[in-house]
Structures are given as structure tokens and as C-alpha cells.
Structure 1
Amino acid sequence: MKRILIIEVNWLGDVLFSTPFIKAVKGHYKDSYLAVLVVPGCVEVLTLNPHVDKVIAFDEDGAHKGIIGKIRLIAELRKERFDIAFILHRSFTRALIALLSGIGSRVGYFTRKRALILSKPIEVPVKEMHKVEYFLNIASSMGMDTGDKNYEFHFGGDDKFYIESFLFDKGVTADDKIVVINPGGNWNPKRWPEESFAQLIDALTDAFGAKVVITGAAKDIPLAEEISNMTHKKPLISCGKTTIKRLGALLSKAKLVISNDSGPMHLAVAVGAKVIALFGPTSPELTGPYGDGDYVVIRKAKDCDVPCYDLSCTDNKCMRLITVDDVMKEARGMLGKTGL
């Protein structure tokens, strides 16, 4: 039995983008044992994945911090006796860990520093491509079938029950039409203005009788409360009340999810929700929703180079150009598909 390790990337969205690659590897090595090495914050993204036999947390801030921690991780990986490692992260350190863990075949994208560490360096694509395709290019370079480009996420029955109980306690019934709003983002220029979200919540409630839920982490509670304070029709706030698994369960119950470019937006696509994605400084061609899902991207960036990673930008014109009417137009089309 081939023993395979996939060394993952670090962000929720990027790890979701890697799931078609995982499927391709498992499909190619059908009777293999497949483990993934991923940062603790993304462990939940891959647990319960039917193509993954084991999820190993790479805790650089805890158990695997510093040289001693890396030695500890190498010892753990040596015990697994992996035959091949696919290194999706472009880190030199991760490639070196694979080498020192006694993994004979080490496959990943070529960098000058890793040239002598990788046993099978893959040339970096000249043409820019979506992250899903970027990862799948490694698989196709190894002769694998990469036809399935849908990313996926799995949650358990207990997660579903938790969300059903949470909604019931908030007075949401099985007949209510849930619309989820995700106003956060890992950097401010990617965020649609708070007042626009507030106006949208009122418009959705008036037009469709929707029960709107604002999602986010605990750090997003002030943002959610600020938006709620500007509305006439008060939304539910689930910020800080869900794990990644439970967030996935909540998103799966929504008739529509409206989100900035963020990990939760991709999570919504992965669980099959209808999604309106709001894009500004980032490129949907590179990091937008992907696969066969039911989603639409709204992007109205003008006079700006995209992608743009100017975190000091205070103008936020690329997001402010998106109007509530723009979003409501798409919402009417998508909610019409559900019979709302």
C-alpha cells in the first residue's frame, strides 16, 4: 500500500482549493493511505473528508515551534513511513522536513532554494491560473486525472444538530428562508461597507421575508453589531458561536449566502449553497469561487490594478462601487430558483 503525505497550504480558502487535488491523488492511488499535514486552524477543513485517512496538525506556534519542535515533527513523520510527499506549500522548510522525514519521493513546485530537496520538481506555470488549477497542475504533471474540479467540505450530524438547535432557539423555524451575510475578511480593503450590508439586510427582509444571519468569528462581533445597529430589521448574529464545521452546517441551510472574498465564502460554495461573492481588490480569476456550484461574482473595480494588495488603501473604491441594487438584482435571480 502506497503511503502518501500531502503537505498543505495555510489559509482556509486555499486548503479548500486543494481538495480537488486530494481527490485526484486518492483516485490515482486507489488503495493508498493518505495523510495531510496542515496548520491547526485548518484541521477542521479536512477532517471527515472521505479521501483523507489522517489529518496531522503542524503546530508551528506550539508543539512544533523552533528547531526542537521541528525535530519532534520529523520523528512523528518518520514513524508513518511515507513513500511520497506532495508539497503544496512553497516553503523551503516544509520541503526540508519531508526530506529529513525519510520520504523518498518529494513532489512540489520548483524554487531555487528547493532545487536539490525535491526529487520531482514541477515547473511553475507561466500563465496565471485559478488556485484550484494551480494545485491540480501538480497532479496532471504526475499523470493523474484532474477532471473533478469541485472543492468539498464535510461536517457531521452533531454539527447539523447544533445549528438546528441554535436557529430554533433564535425563533427560526423550518419554513423560514435563511439568508447568510458574511461581512468580514482577513483584510479591510476586501470588505464591502458596513452601511451597504445594513441596507442590504433591510432590503432582503422587506423583499423576501428572509431571516438574515450574520456570520463571522468572535473578532467580528463588533462589526456585526455595528451593521445590526444600522438596520431596521434586526438580523441574527452567529459570530463566535460556530466552529468551522458548524459554520459549514449553517451555510448549507441557507437559501443564499452573500459574502466578501473570504474563507467562509468558499466554504459556502463547498457545501453547495447559492452564493453571491463580492470582489474588489482581489482577482476572481485567481481566487474566486470555482467548480460546478451555483454562484455569481459581482466586481466593479475601475481604474485599479487587480489583484491589489495595498493594505494601506483607505479609498476602498473598488468595493464601494458595488451597490445594494447590484446585489439585490442578483439575489432576486438566485432566490427565484429556490421558490422563495
Structure 2
Amino acid sequence: MTQSLVIAPQWIGDAVMTEPLLRRLHARGERLTVGAVPWVAPVYRAMPQVQSVLEFPFQHGGLQFQARRRLARALQGRFDTAYVLPNSLKSALLPFLASIPRRVGYLGEARVGLLTHRLKNPKDKPPMVAFYSALSGEREGLEQDRPVLQPDPVAVAAAVRAQDLQAGAYLVFAPGAEYGPSKRWPERHYASLARALDLPVLLLGSGKDVPVAEQIVAASGGRCRNLAGRTSLAEAFALIAGARAMVSNDSGLMHVAAAFGVPQVALFGSSSPLHTPPLNDRARVVWLKDDPRYQPPLDCAPCFERECPLGHHRCLEDVQPERVAALLGS
């Protein structure tokens, strides 16, 4: 049996979108170990095809060559193949230093000599799931791949019970967006939506999302429970899996909800659902760019900027809470 090491991306949403690739590798008999940074590792623990998860001791930024070399020495002789999913030079270093015979990845960042099997980056970048799945070397059905995560029912029951709630009897809002303000639906809209709903609302996110969540709680008159920065990622996953539905920006937690099959409303502004959609038949996507009723048209979208370069943020400011509430009830 082929022993394979998968070098994971460092973003939660990207990690979710690698699941179909890992499913393909597992189906043809590869035994998978995923190397991931700690904040992404829980994603891979929700994939039954992954044999083990190796948490990397690396931080954001910097080559950290000595740390990679020490880990590489410990991994020598353990793997036949490595799949390098990020396009960075440093992500390809570990498999090279560990002398893994077959090293697969996309060309990028001057790492030609670090990879043995190199794919060219497509000029017109496909949806991210297909982009990652192509690393399998297979060509059939890439566009039909959909990520699937398996929630732990014991963890779900425990997380819901800890909030004194019942599964399916509460909603989750994920109001953050790691990329920047241009991907965030305004706090006042989240608050207005919470006031219009009958079910309890949990706010989930990282420590960076605490200020945004606090504003929503205050503006909603206490209709929301702020759990941003107060749960582990695994606990946040469990609470999403147990929710009646979720409302979110284009974010990593949006992709988690989609992979769990949770009903959701996904709000897009500066980014594009054509590139990173929630791949969930129960998802409702709101993107004013492709709404013919919205005037004047959003010729500026998608801009993919961290902040609105025009200063108006119409793409999300003009998405009304009433529209989202109607989609939640549909």
C-alpha cells in the first residue's frame, strides 16, 4: 500500500475543498497522513479517509528552515509519495528534505527542483475543488467533486448540550471573514436579522472576530450569544453540524457548513461564488452581481480586494436582512 503525505493548505476553507482529492487517493489504495498547521488540523480529523494527522510546529510567515529540516529527518523512509497542495516554496521543502521519492504539486515560487511531478497552473483558474483534485492525476469528474465532512455525533451532542440547546433548534451566524472587511456583511444587518428570527442565534468565529460579534450582540438587543473566540475549532464544527441553519460571509466556516450539508445562506460581495461556492444542495447564495433586479449593476464586482476600493461597499450593504430571512424560511 502506498504511504502518502499530504501537505495541507493553511486556510480552513481551502482545507475543506481538498476533501475530494483525499477521497480519490484513498479510493485507489493510498494510506494518507495529512501534515497541517494546528488551526486546520480539525478539518482533516472530520475526513474518515485520513489515517492520521500530523500537526506541524510551524507558524505563519518565514521559511523556518531548521524546524522543517528536523521534522524531515524524523519522516525519512516513511512515505512513498507527497502531495504538496499549497503553491509556496516552503510547503515543498519538507517532502524534499525528507527524501520522499515522488513529490507532486503545481509549479510556483521557484520550486521546480523540489517537485518530481509538476502540474502547470491553469491560466483560467478552475473552481478550487477541481484545482486540488487534479493533483490526483485523474481527469474524469473533477467538476462534479463535492467536499463531504463527517461530524462526530458524540461531539455534536456534547457541544449542543453545553450551550443548553437542542440540535436543530438554533441558528449559527459566522459574521467574520479572515480576508478583510470587503467580505463581511454589515454588523447591523446581522443584528436586524437576529431580531427577526424566533430561534436562538450563536455567533461563531475566531478571536479576531470578537469585536464584530460584540457589535452584533449589542445591536441585536442581546438576541445573539457570542461564542467568537470562546470555542475550539472542533467545538465550532460540532455546533455548526447541530444547527438548524447557518448564515455566513464567504469564509472557511461557510465551507464547513456546506461539507456538513447544513442548510445555509452564503453572502458574497467582493469575492465570487463562481470560484469558491458552498458546494451544498441546501445552500442559498446571495450575490448582487448576478441579480438582474439589482440596479445599477455592480460592474466593480468581484474586485477581490480586502477593502472596498470605491468606498461604498454596495455589494453587501445593499443585501437586506429581509431577503436573508426569507431564504432561511424557504
Q: Normalising to structure 1: TM-score of the pair?
A: 0.86
Q: How does 1:273-292 map to 2 (within 5 A)?
A: 273-290=262-279, 292=280
C-alpha separation in 1, matches of 2:227 and 2:158: 12
Letter in 2 for 1:280: G
Q: CA deviation at 1:12?
A: 0.3
Give the corresponding residue for 2:173: 181
2:144 is the counterpart of 1:156: no
* 8 Å Cα contact 1:177-1:255 kept in structure 2: yes
Please, which of 312, 322, 325 is the counterpart of residue 322 of structure 2? Answer: 325
2:32 aligns to what SS in structure 1? strand
C-alpha separation in 2, matches of 1:316 and 1:145: 37
Q: CA deviation at 1:18?
A: 0.4
Measured at CA, do residues 48 and 295 of structure 1 come closer, stay the same or move farther in structure 2, by a change above 3 Å? closer
Q: CA deviation at 1:117?
A: 2.7
C-alpha separation in 2, matches of 1:148 and 1:51: 19
Q: Normalising to structure 2: TM-score of the pair?
A: 0.88
Measured at CA, do residues 69 and 144 of structure 1 come closer, stay the same or move farther in structure 2, by a change above 3 Å? farther
* 8 Å Cα contact 1:162-1:246 kept in structure 2: no
Letter in 2 for 1:235: C
C-alpha separation in 2, matches of 1:74 and 1:237: 41
- Further displaced range: 45-54 or 268-277: 45-54
* 8 Å Cα contact 1:20-1:148 kept in structure 2: no
C-alpha separation in 1, matches of 2:63 and 2:43: 22
Letter in 2 for 1:202: R
Point out 4+ residue stretches in structure 1 off by more than 4 angstroms.
142-148
* 8 Å Cα contact 1:36-1:54 kept in structure 2: yes
C-alpha separation in 2, matches of 1:148 and 1:130: 11
* 8 Å Cα contact 1:6-1:35 kept in structure 2: yes
* 8 Å Cα contact 1:21-1:146 kept in structure 2: no
C-alpha separation in 2, matches of 1:233 and 1:243: 23
2:171 aligns to what SS in structure 1? strand
Give the CA RMSD over aligned residues.
2.3
Q: CA deviation at 1:219?
A: 3.4
- Further displaced range: 238-247 or 312-321: 312-321
Q: CA deviation at 1:88?
A: 0.9
Please, which of 54, 57, 65 is the counterpart of residue 56 of structure 1? Answer: 54
Deviations 1:97-135 (A, max 9, x none): 212211111111123722233211112223321111111
2:97 is the counterpart of 1:100: yes
Measured at CA, do residues 274 and 173 of structure 1 come closer, stay the same or move farther in structure 2, by a change above 3 Å? closer
Give the corresponding residue for 1:336: none
Letter in 2 for 1:272: G
Letter in 2 for 1:43: A
Measured at CA, do residues 56 and 233 of structure 1 come closer, stay the same or move farther in structure 2, by a change above 3 Å? closer
C-alpha separation in 2, matches of 1:45 and 1:56: 12
* 8 Å Cα contact 1:59-1:65 kept in structure 2: no
Q: CA deviation at 1:261?
A: 0.8
Measured at CA, do residues 173 and 120 of structure 1 come closer, stay the same or move farther in structure 2, by a change above 3 Å? closer
Deviations 1:208-246 (A, max 9, x none): x22222222233233222112112462222223322221
Q: CA deviation at 1:70?
A: 1.6
Q: How does 1:74-223 map to 2 (within 5 A)?
A: 74-80=72-78, 82-111=79-108, 113-139=110-136, 141-142=137-138, 146=142, 149-168=145-164, 172-173=165-166, 177-186=169-178, 187-204=180-197, 209-223=198-212
Letter in 1 for 2:132: F
Q: CA deviation at 1:148?
A: 6.3
* Structure 2 runs not aligned, ≥5 long: 290-297
Q: CA deviation at 1:47?
A: 1.7
Give the corresponding residue for 1:298: 286
2:246 is the counterpart of 1:254: no
- Further displaced range: 229-238 or 318-327: 229-238
Q: CA deviation at 1:94?
A: 2.3
Letter in 2 for 1:8: A
* 8 Å Cα contact 2:88-2:109 kept in structure 1: no
C-alpha separation in 1, matches of 2:173 and 2:14: 21
2:201 aligns to what SS in structure 1? strand
Measured at CA, do residues 173 and 254 of structure 1 come closer, stay the same or move farther in structure 2, by a change above 3 Å? closer
C-alpha separation in 2, matches of 1:157 and 1:329: 30
Q: CA deviation at 1:19?
A: 0.7
Give the corresponding residue for 1:337: none
* 8 Å Cα contact 2:20-2:147 kept in structure 1: yes
C-alpha separation in 1, matches of 2:75 and 2:19: 22
C-alpha separation in 2, matches of 1:219 and 1:138: 33
1:153 aligns to what SS in structure 2? coil
Measured at CA, do residues 117 and 274 of structure 1 come closer, stay the same or move farther in structure 2, by a change above 3 Å? same
Identical amino acids, percent of aligned pairs:
27
